Amino acid sequence: MRTVASQQTNPVQAIASLEWRLQLHSKGYWFSLLVLIGYILFGLTDNWELAPGNLAAQLADGVVPIIFVVAGFVTLNCTGREQTEQFSEVFYTLPVDSRAIYTGKTLGAALSLLPHFGCVAAIFLVPIIGQGYIDATVASAWALAVGQMILAGLGGLSVAMFLTAVFRNVRLRYVVLLFWLFGMMGLNGLARIDGFNLVLGLSFLTIDSVPYGFSALNGFFRYQRGHSASLRWAAAPLNSALQQALWNRSHGHGFYEESPVLAGAASYLTLLWLDHIGAGVSEQALARYAQTAANTEAPNTTQRRIAEVVLELHRQKQAGGSALVGKTLRQLLELAAQRAITWDDWEAVYSGQ
Amino acid sequence: MEHTVILESLSMRYPRSRKPALDSIDLELNKGMFGILGPNGAGKTTLLRILATLLRPTGGRAVIFGHDVAQQPDLVRPLLGYLPQDFNTYRQLTIEQTLDYIALLKDINDAQARRQELERVLSLVHLTKERRLQVRHLSGGMKQRLGIAQALLGSPRILIVDEPTAGLDPEERIRFRNLLADLANERTVILSTHIVGDVEKSCGHLAVISQGKLLFTGEPTALAKAAYGMVWETHVNDGAPESLPAYACVVATRPTRTGRIGRVICPHPPTPDSTPAEPSLEDGYLVIMGACRGDSK
């Protein structure tokens, strides 16, 4: 009898293929697919009267957090596989480097999301076929949704990878992810009920169109390859994303982006956090603010004002005014929470100190 | 002869633990089967996990074929095959899928070579017919054989097996022991066990470890000699403990027409009618372990 050896030719392929296959044995995985299909069917029937483009866009928006959560779930499944199957004792004595292991596992997780992406494709096909026409917004909604889905997937994946690097214990990672997700949902729900679905997905992913999921993922890989400072490095964009999730909503209509005051405060808090985690990151950020403040020609642009505020707060702190800075920030945030603050108010509060 | 494994003052202390798990172990191992004997909690698994690159020692060093295990794990791993105490693997895969996967991770990338390697190890552990069984449907013995098969993939120069016969029925145990003995003809096999019989039947050299300390190293016959002049046979009745010195240790009894005859370890004849007996490996082990100084009764 001949043994059927697979046609794979390297450990990365082997791990990716195994992870993808074993994912199909997970009840949670199929449940997530069921939830997604249920959501799409419910959304389709509930909003059928909308034009295809609008209908698709609305559905795609709601799918973002689901993709994010599923990506996190399958990734944790992959990275915790050896522990849950009690195979880690042998697995970690095999002559395969951690780079191959985690590349394979990431690839396996990404492959596992293909059925979910197939469901997203159905969102666009069903209204077009069912309603028998295509309106002008379909193409743009499709492009936007695909981008969002990919970023949501990468976001979930990178957050899970980040947690993997920080917490080796499988259960603890799940608990932390769960707390994080519910915390985000709660905060965003409180901040802006109607937009929290979008915020949950996007806030982890981009700031000023930079996909931070990539940064976090890159940080994780660097960590696996022995760059000990890379966790701190990855923590910075994740922290920024977290911060944006707290104060922002998606599509640039958010409270945070509307208010340069809050943007300035948020930037400064980020700087403090970067300063805390160290490794020269805060110096780089400060230099960037200084450059922005110096190079932006129009004196009243939000970007320039934010940069100036951050630099000024930092100077105050360096001059021994930490308490003063804290008080200023608190006042600002209180005013901002009432949505009653303008740029002039900010300057009044600021100069009053 | 060049030693395949060298341990120099190897020590291990787990965080928040008062006692060291390993306390300055010095050992030199060559090709053949080497047994590590000791009670549960002696430090055997810790020692094997260090050799398997899973743990970093907190003191001393372990060298395998010239490579420091803690400093050069990437060079050591290709030389190793490891079967842990509780071997488990992906339950949903079949035996051949599991082996194929592990072979790939051991860098056997060519499909043809991998096929041949799978055939070889399946045949060695007598699992060729069961190759399409899922792991979750395997018996304890079959799972152990799969464990040894995965360890043998790529023909490692060192095979580390931790309590491999625990939980096996007698027939499986003997078969497994013989298999390991065969494998030891071409490589170093390090076998950890608390079953004296496993070592007695198969190992050319052994070490006894207790509470992290190396108590003995040498050939099995030398261990048996440790009990020389201390093993006796004597009548033991129901009230045996009272009729024997407190430090005498009854290791076995058997019924005879005239009553029960006990095998007793004692520095001198425990009773006037005692007759000396030939010491076994188990007797030597008990003497080395200090189990017959009255505290075991």
Exposure string over A306-317, b if 16+ CB within 10 A, otherwise e = bbbbbbbbbebb
Confidence of residue B20 (pLDDT cuts 50, 70, 90): very high
- Taking an 8 Å cut-off on Cβ atoms, the answer to whether A92 and B115 are in contact is no
DSSP string, A31-47: HHHHHHHHHHHHHHHHT
CA distance A216 to A239: 10
Residue A232: what pLDDT?
53
Query: Is a pLDDT exceeding 90 seen at residue B105?
Result: yes
Q: Would you call B115 and A2 a contact, using CB atoms and an 8 Å cutoff? A: yes
Name the β-bridge partners of B80. Answer: B158
Cβ atoms B139, B171 nearer than 8 A: no
Confidence of residue B229 (pLDDT cuts 50, 70, 90): confident
Q: List pLDDT tens digits, range B23-60.
A: 999 999 999 999 999 988 899 999 999 999 999 999 99
Please give the Cα distance from A6 to A178 (Å, whole number): 37
What tokens were used for A185?
Answer: 């949902």
Q: Would you state the pLDDT for residue A186?
A: 57
- Residues in B touching A96 (Cβ below 8 Å): 105-107
**DSSP notation for A203-221:** HTTEETTEEHHHHHHHHHH
Helix (H) or strand (E) holding A159: helix A137-166
**Average pLDDT of the residues in B207-216:** 93
Angle at B211 between CA B209 and CA B217, to 5 degrees: 20
Q: Which residues on A lie below 8 Å from B118 (Cβ)? A: 3, 5
Architecture of domain B5-218: 3-Layer(aba) Sandwich (3.40)
Residue A27 touches chain B, beta carbons under 8 Å: no
B16: pLDDT strictly greater than 60: yes
- Give the strand order in the sheet containing B59-64: B22-29, B5-12, B59-64, B67-68
pLDDT score of A197: 38
- Determine the Cα–Cα distance for residues B46 and B60; give it in Å rounded to an integer: 14
Q: A322-337 vs A260-277: helix axis angle to the nearest 10?
A: 140
pLDDT (tens digit per residue) in B257-295: 877 888 888 888 888 888 888 888 888 988 888 866 544
What residues form DSSP beta bridges with B134?
Answer: B94
Determine the pLDDT at residue B236: 78
State the sign of the Cα–Cα–Cα–Cα dihedral A290, A291, A295, A299. negative
* Whole-number pLDDT of residue B98: 95
Bridge partners (DSSP) listed for residue B206:
B35, B218
Strands B5-12 and B59-64: antiparallel
Q: How far apart are CA B99 and CA B105, in angstroms?
A: 10
DSSP state of B134: B
pLDDT value of position B165 = 80
> Which structure tokens are listed for A267?
């930037």
Q: Does A90 touch chain B (CB under 8 A)?
A: yes
Structural contact between residues B254 and B235, judged by C-beta atoms closer than 8 angstroms: no
What's the confidence (pLDDT) of residue A124?
82
Considering chain B, what percentage of its residues have pLDDT values greater than 70?
95
Ranges A74-88, B106-120, B249-263: which has the least confidence: B249-263
Distances (CA, A) of A200 to A2, A207, A250: 51, 13, 9
Tokens of A306: 């934010």
> Would you state the pLDDT for residue A230?
54
Pairwise CB contact (< 8 Å): A3 & B104? no
Residue in chain A closest to B86 (alpha carbons) equals A86
Residues of B at the A interface (Cβ-Cβ below 8 Å)?
49, 52-54, 74, 77-78, 80, 82-84, 86-93, 96-97, 100-107, 109-112, 114-115, 118-119, 122, 128, 131, 147, 150-151
- CB-nearest to B111 from A7, A15, A94 is A7
Mark A254-268 as b/e (b = at least 16 C-beta within 10 Å): bbbbebbbbbbbbbb
- pLDDT, one tens digit for every residue, chain A (353 residues): 445 667 778 899 999 999 999 999 999 999 999 999 999 999 888 888 888 888 888 888 778 778 888 888 898 889 888 888 889 899 999 998 877 888 899 899 989 999 998 888 888 888 888 888 777 777 777 777 777 677 677 777 777 777 776 676 667 777 777 776 666 555 544 444 444 334 434 444 443 434 445 555 555 666 655 555 555 555 555 555 555 544 443 333 344 445 566 667 767 776 666 665 555 666 777 777 788 777 766 666 667 777 777 787 788 777 777 777 777 767 666 666 555 556 566 666 555 54
**Greater confidence, A285 or B195?**
B195
Of A108-112, B70-74, B160-164, B167-171, the poorest mean pLDDT is in B167-171
- Asked if the model's pLDDT at residue B1 lies above 70, the reply is no
Which pLDDT value is given to residue A299? 61
Q: How far apart are CA B84 and CA B92, in angstroms?
A: 20
- Cα–Cα distance for residue pair A343/B231, rounded to 1 Å: 96
B172, two tokens: 């499986």
DSSP-derived 3-state class of residue B63: strand
Contacting residues of B for A25, CB less than 8 Å apart:
92
User: What residue ranges do the domains of chain B occupy?
Assistant: 5-218, 225-289
Per residue in A95-123, is it b (16+ CB within 10 Å) or e — as a string? Answer: bbeeebbbbbbbbbbbbbbebbbebbebb
**Which residue, among B25, B62, B20, has the nearest Cα to B41 in the 3D structure?**
B20
A5·B114 Cβ contact <8 A: yes
Q: Nearest Cα to B99, choosing from B141, B129, B131?
A: B131
Q: Six-digit token pair at A316?
A: 């105050």
Which residues of chain A are within 8 Å of residue B128 when distances are taken between CB atoms? 1
Q: How far is B96 from chain A (nearest CA, A)?
A: 7
Check if the beta carbon of residue A9 is closer than 8 Å to that of residue B109.
yes
Percent pLDDT > 90 in chain B is 53
| Token pair belonging to A117 | 């992406």
A95–B90 C-beta distance less than 8 A = no
Beta partners for residue A258, in sequence order: none
The residue among B90, B92, B96, B162 with the most chain A CBs within 10 A of its CB, best to mutate, is B90
d(CA B293, CA B267): 9
Please list, in sequence order, all residues whose beta carbon lies within 8 angstroms of the beta carbon of residue B9, skipping any fewer than 6 positions away. B24, B25, B26, B59, B60, B61
pLDDT on residue A302:
65
Task: Please check whether residue B154 is in contact with residue B144, taking contact to mean a CB–CB distance below 8 angstroms.
Answer: no
The mean of the pLDDT values for chain B is 88
Confidence (pLDDT) at A300: 60
What is the rounded CA–CA span in Å between residue B21 and residue B48?
A: 12
pLDDT for res A191 = 44
Q: CB distance from A6 to chain B under 8 Å?
A: yes
Residue of A18, A84, A99, A102 for testing the chain B interface, max B β-carbons within 10 Å: A18
CA–CA distance, A277 with B107 (Å, rounded to integer):
39
- Closest residue on chain B to A100 (Cα): B105
In the stretch 65-84 of chain A, residues with CB closer than 8 A to chain B read: 81
Chain A residues with beta carbon closer than 8 angstroms to that of B147 = 90
Type of residue numbered B266:
C
- Could you tell me which residues come within 8 angstroms of residue A163 by beta carbon, excluding any fewer than 6 positions away? A76, A173, A176, A177
* Residues in chain B within 8 Å Cβ distance of A1: 128, 131
Report H helices in A225-339.
230-247, 255-258, 260-277, 281-295, 302-318, 322-337
